[in-house]
Structure 1
Amino acid sequence: MKVENPTRTLAVDRAADLQTHVGSEIGISGWASLEQDDVLGFAELTHDRHWIHTDPPRARDEAGLNGLLAHGFLVLSTVTALANQCYTIAKATRWTNYGLERIRFTAPVLPGDEFRLRLSLDAVAPGPGPTTRLSLGCRLERRASERPAMAATWIVLVEEA
């Protein structure tokens, strides 16, 4: 995956400092793109070798695409790297992916298509044990398109020193 520098990031000392940002956008990543080798490698890794992900001529002929379709889960997996561009918590010692809610793959991503993450903060709450629970609104927007590639709510647990 190729990624440009972020557009906007938020830096705080502690997770509790994010409370004042609930309900707002906290960052925009740089533009990213996946290459055909990324899609083919993901197909091999996950054993999801459907022709729409592995056979460019067939994807063109039968699906009307300009090449391979990136797997939805591959596109989703880019969120972690892109979110790291959107915000930082200086005293965080550990992050745990707690889960995802309302995931929607709303538009195709093809190799070479550019997309970026718009990250909003939906909630900050005490998590289990010594953690803070963040609910993050994730929207992967595509360059030159009104329709996002993906939307989801991502729940992250943050532990601090």
Structure 2
Amino acid sequence: MIIIKNYVEFESHLGQELGVSDWHTITQQQIDKFADATIDHQWIHTDTEKAKNEGPFGGTIAHGYLTVSLLPYFWHQIADVQNLKMQINYAIDSIKFGQPVLVDTRVRLKARLAAIVNLRGITKATIGVEMEIEGQKKPAYTGEVVFLYHFNG
């Protein structure tokens, strides 16, 4: 895990890979809870029998937005940004889904610092992300997320 305490430390990683998270298994229970939370019960996600017998993937798949919603969880495994007044999720740019994540598949996040700007004391960090699927060459998605960091002093 990388530790970042201020803008200068953050900026020193520009263009570099910041790290890779631990693996996380996407379970049917997690998919079902996400479906309930988002009111998205499309059968390809929640009907295990129909997805197994009639679906193109041989089983249910995670919602694409479920995989994206895991970004903060994975990001905090990669970077410990300290000395903060506040952090704000600012933007998600250019997320492109590469392939579905099947139930009981393990995923992890790879992150790099794509850009960083000092906006009058507020750090705007653009993080390039790629969600890897264990055993697959093609990622679940690639893209960029932007965080605003208000460092103390």
* Length-normalised TM-score, structure 2: 0.94
2:77 aligned partner: 85
**Does the 8 Å contact 2:26/2:107 carry over to 1?**
no
Q: CA RMSD in A?
A: 1.3
Match of 2:35 among 39, 43, 61: 43
User: In structure 2, how many angstroms separate the alpha carbons of the residues matched to 1:130 and 1:32?
Assistant: 35
- Identical counterparts, % of pairs: 28
The AA in structure 1 aligned to 2:89 is N
- Asked if 1:25 is matched to 2:25, the reply is no
- Asked if 1:156 is matched to 2:113, the reply is no
1:109 aligned partner: 101
The AA in structure 2 aligned to 1:82 is F
Offset from partner CA, 1:58-93 (integer Å, 9 cap, x none): 112222323211000000001111000111222123
**Does the 8 Å contact 1:52/1:59 carry over to 2?**
yes
2:133 aligned partner: 142
2:3 aligned partner: 11
Quote the offset at 1:102 in angstroms: 0.5
1:5 aligned partner: none
User: In structure 1, how many angstroms separate the alpha carbons of the residues matched to 2:113 and 2:45?
Assistant: 33
* Length-normalised TM-score, structure 1: 0.89
3-state DSSP of counterpart to 2:109: strand
- Higher mean alpha-carbon deviation, 61-70 vs 109-118, is at 61-70
How many pairs were matched up? 152
**Does the 8 Å contact 1:15/1:89 carry over to 2?**
no
Q: For structure 1, list consecutive stretches of 5 or more residues without a partner in the other structure.
A: 1-8
User: In structure 1, how many angstroms separate the alpha carbons of the residues matched to 2:61 and 2:82?
Assistant: 37
